[in-house]
Amino acid sequence: MSKAKVQKVSGYPDVITHLPEAKVSCEGGKAWILQAESSQLVFFQFEKGTDMPAHSHTYAQWGMVIDGEMELNIDGKLRHYKKGDEYLIPAGIPHSAKFFDATRVMDYFSEKSRYRPM
């Protein structure tokens, strides 16, 4: 029985980047969409120093940091997140983010059209 060689991934692999790329309004960010009938799973990649401006939406958002570091401001409360940390942003709550490193996050949006393909 042969053993598969495990590789460290920097950036998303082809299995993700072959998904439809999303239109992202934030300079320094890229994203790929996994579309479901009533929701989206979006794989984001942000460059070091990227700022996501404050915004809100009418549906909940759950996410996890895959790699890197970020500061998330949820309803005026600043929290620092790193690899493996999860966050939940309730519907209607203002939030923004700052990325201190090249960072990858995965976000689930309980809305089917949060992001549109390019």
pTM of the model: 0.89
18 pLDDT above the threshold of 90: yes
* CA distance linking residue 2 with residue 17, whole number of Å: 28
30-38 long-range Cβ contacts below 8 angstroms, 24+ apart: 31/115, 33/115, 33/117, 35/112, 36/112, 37/112, 38/110, 38/111, 38/112
For residue 10, what is the DSSP state?
Answer: S
Percent of the chain with pLDDT over 90: 84
Q: Using one digit for the tens of pLDDT, what is the confidence trace for 59-110? A: 999 999 999 999 999 999 999 999 999 999 999 999 999 999 999 999 999 9
From residue 111, how far is each of 1, 2, 25, 36, 40 by CA, in Å? Answer: 44, 43, 18, 9, 7
Residue 5: its pLDDT value, please?
A: 58
- For residue 9, is pLDDT > 70? no
Domains annotated for the chain, with CATH where assigned, are 14-109 (2.60.120.10)
